Structure 1
Amino acid sequence: MEVKMNDLILITSYWLHLLATVVWIGGIIFILFIAIPSSRQVLGAEAGKLMGEISKRFTPLANCSIFLLVITGVALAGFNKQFSGIGLFENNWTATLFLKCILVFGMVIIHFYRGLILTPRIGKTESASEKVSLQKLSLNLVKVNFGFGMLVLLFSGILYLFNT
């Protein structure tokens, strides 16, 4: 079996795309369903400190994953024969990809809003009630990203179906 350079690029792009997806969406699942409930149960009011440390370690991984998803996503779309071009919805595959991209864009906005605006604001807030309110907003945004992430995975399955 002869492997061409385009095949190697495609294989590497798929692998990196899947890896980045696992890190980002898997991280959201871990934080939402394991880290937050466990830290609250064990640490109570001190859970926020642990979650802050987890966030400091996870955020760079998520940022790298987002970068990889964008780069590999563009490459994978370009390699796909179903892709009819940006803004050209000539088939179901391209229309589904567009919807998937909108969801991913929403996830990216939420991720960077939480990290660059909301988290520093929570740290500077002195009012306990305002801090609790901002923390609830942050948690709700993680839940939105979880929902968007599940839809992104669903659309990935649909894209696979349209590609066969």
Structure 2
Amino acid sequence: MKLDLEGPLASMKEQLSAYCEKKNIEDAIVVGIHTGGVWVAEQLMSVVPTNEALATLDITFYRDDFTMAGLNPKVNQTSLPAIEDRHVILVDDVLMSGRTIRAAMNEIFDFGRPASITLAILYDLGQHELPIAADIVGQRLTLNPDQRVKLVGPDPLSVSIMDTH
């Protein structure tokens, strides 16, 4: 089942622009989590007050389930500028358990101490296992236990709900 992508992206852009203005955030660092978060972050860059290029983060080795899953991961490159005392806008496509975001924050803090981290999520599934909540949410979804959100991209970018059974 295909999902609307334009509505949630437009909502995120509006929320993010207002959030940066309200919090007086200037020259932020936008960080997309590989891969879907990078694609979403690319869509948001036009509304973020920044002079920095999009930064990317690969959290593969920071995941708490890395050794349990027997993964043979495709590792992408992490590319972060100096983040000390800078405002970071962390972007991902889906917030489910919160474990990916926890891993991303661990990696960010290995690079330095940002002034703040703002979390922007395209779809929040409300299945949090950790006390992590997004500041910017494109859309909240309620899925059946056997369903997952699948973002495909980057060009064209599309999203659908897939059955896992």
Q: Same fold (TM over 0.5)?
A: no
The structure where strand makes up a greater share of residues is 2
Give the TM-score taking structure 1 as reference length.
0.23
Give the TM-score taking structure 2 as reference length.
0.23
Rg larger in structure: 1
The structure where helix makes up a greater share of residues is 1
